[in-house]
């Protein structure tokens, strides 16, 4: 991390800190991989929800963005980004928001995975004389939403949309179960499963005489593990921009590539327990304990010195709302009060960058020279 100790000591804690050089390396690594595989890259903005971060992704070569809320879509459209995929299943109550964006000039795509939702979209479009572009979500791993590539419902949904004069834009999938893997072979197999399933869905639509111009896949682990993306037109990924400890355990990054950390201050000790108490509790780190079921449980985060140097074995082992318990894994450290006196400032790497980022209204972006710039972050829905 940049040697920004003097800058960081001037900040109030807890604070969300972005190591900008690391972030930019992460961005360029992913973009170079997508370029080499011959596909467009549409990053997901929900990790950062921050215009300067998304701008850096687009400047590196990204084509459009994915969002998880219509508030995000409006925010980034106001920032000049027009090609936006709203990657969450559409419900009728949100169609007026989507229509307002499209009529302002936003090239907004929406998603469905059911006949019920497709019929509501068609009825709304006909009533408002609007032809939305709709993508069908495909379930390629049993992780969350979507239609199985071979399910009859895929053709049913597509026909409702197409016959209703709604533009059928393509298919999309997210192999989120890749987060549960931790070997290169398993990750490569999941990436191929994701690719093959989504391409299979597209093939079925085309064989049925239905349009399917776009085939969109992606997650950070599969995007960084795919050997081939034949038949795919674009990839989406999110947490790669910052990485985190879950991704470290998955095996697609190291601690030295995690670009987001929480700056915190030691506020007390429990020497007999080997604890240092810090002012970053779960309100700062989030409740996400994503590493708890992985090969290395980092508690609520990995401790680093203020300059970003990892402190091996020292983790945020417990957290209350505004208090964090910092301790050494295994054998308690009887000298922790002397090692980390009250007032010591540390940085904690998060389990899940999306969840930790969501706890803060702003980031402090640290440049190569150690200077800090405050970047606002979108909150809410």
Cα-based distances in Å from 340 to 2, 13, 305: 21, 16, 10
pLDDT average, residue stretch 100-108: 98
Predicted pLDDT of residue 229: 98
Two structure tokens written together for 142: 């049993």
pLDDT average, residue stretch 318-335: 97
- Rounded CA-CA distance 141/177 in Å is 7
CB 140 within 8 A of CB 173: yes
Encode pLDDT of 253-309 as tens digits. Answer: 999 999 999 999 999 999 999 999 999 999 999 999 999 999 999 999 999 999 999
Q: How many CA atoms lie within 13 A of 116 on its CB side?
A: 3
Predicted pLDDT of residue 6: 84
pLDDT average, residue stretch 115-137: 97
- Rounded CA-CA distance 280/263 in Å is 8
Nearest to 16 by CA among 319, 263, 243: 263
For 152, the 3-state DSSP assignment is: helix
Class of 5-15+253-376 per CATH? mainly beta
Predicted pLDDT of residue 3: 67
Rounded to 5°, the CA angle 70-21-52 comes to 25
Domain boundaries defined on the chain = 5-15+253-376, 44-237
Cα-based distances in Å from 367 to 259, 340, 374: 12, 26, 11
Rounded to 5°, the CA angle 183-220-111 comes to 130
Task: Enter the pTM of the model.
Answer: 0.96
Predicted pLDDT of residue 2: 64
Predicted pLDDT of residue 357: 98
Encode pLDDT of 175-192 as tens digits. Answer: 999 999 999 999 999 999
Encode pLDDT of 4-46 as tens digits. Answer: 888 999 999 999 999 999 999 999 999 999 999 999 999 999 9
Percent of the chain whose predicted confidence (pLDDT) is above 70: 99
Predicted pLDDT of residue 4: 80
Please tell me which residue, 280 or 380, carries the higher pLDDT value.
280
How many CB atoms neighbour CB 30 within 10 A? 23
For the chain, give percent helix, strand, coil, nearest 5. Answer: 40, 25, 40
Encode pLDDT of 222-240 as tens digits. Answer: 999 999 999 999 999 999 9
What is the architecture, at CATH level 2, of domain 44-237? Answer: Alpha-Beta Barrel (3.20)
């Amino acid at each position: 991390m940049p040697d920004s100790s003097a800058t960081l000591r001037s900040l109030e804690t807890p604070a969300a800190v972005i190591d900008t050089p690391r972030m930019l390396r992460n961005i360029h690594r992913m973009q170079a991989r997508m370029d080499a595989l011959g596909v467009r890259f549409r990053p997901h903005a929900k990790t950062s929800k921050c215009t300067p971060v998304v701008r850096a992704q687009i400047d590196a070569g990204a084509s459009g963005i994915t969002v998880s809320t219509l508030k995000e879509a409006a925010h980034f459209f106001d920032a000049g980004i027009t090609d936006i995929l709203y990657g969450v299943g559409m419900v009728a109550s949100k169609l007026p928001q989507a229509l307002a964006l499209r009529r302002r000039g936003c090239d907004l795509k929406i998603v469905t995975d059911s006949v019920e939702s497709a019929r509501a979209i068609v009825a709304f479009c006909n009533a408002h004389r609007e032809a939305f572009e709709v993508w069908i979500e495909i379930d390629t791993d049993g992780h969350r939403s979507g239609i199985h590539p071979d399910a009859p419902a895929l053709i049913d949904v597509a026909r409702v949309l197409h016959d209703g004069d709604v533009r059928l834009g393509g298919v999309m999938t997210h192999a989120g179960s890749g987060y549960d893997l931790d070997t290169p072979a398993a990750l490569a197999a999941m990436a191929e499963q994701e690719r093959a399933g989504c391409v299979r869905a597209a093939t079925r639509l085309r064989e049925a005489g239905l349009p399917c111009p776009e085939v969109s896949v992606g997650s950070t682990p599969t995007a960084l593990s795919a050997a081939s993306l034949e038949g795919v037109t674009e990839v989406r990924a999110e947490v790669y921009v910052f990485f985190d400890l879950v991704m470290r355990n998955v095996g697609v990054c190291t601690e030295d590539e995690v670009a987001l950390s929480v700056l915190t201050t030691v506020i007390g000790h429990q020497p007999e327990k080997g604890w240092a108490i810090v002012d970053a509790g779960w309100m700062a780190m989030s409740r996400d304990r994503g590493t708890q079921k992985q090969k290395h449980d980092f508690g609520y985060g990995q401790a680093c010195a203020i300059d970003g140097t990892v402190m091996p074995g020292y983790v945020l082992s417990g957290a209350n709302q505004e208090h964090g318990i910092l301790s050494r894994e295994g054998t308690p450290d009887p000298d922790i009060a002397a090692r980390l006196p009250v007032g010591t400032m540390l940085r904690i790497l998060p389990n899940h960058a999306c969840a930790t980022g969501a706890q803060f209204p702003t980031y402090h972006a640290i440049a190569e020279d150690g200077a800090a710039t405050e970047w606002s972050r979108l909150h809410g829905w």
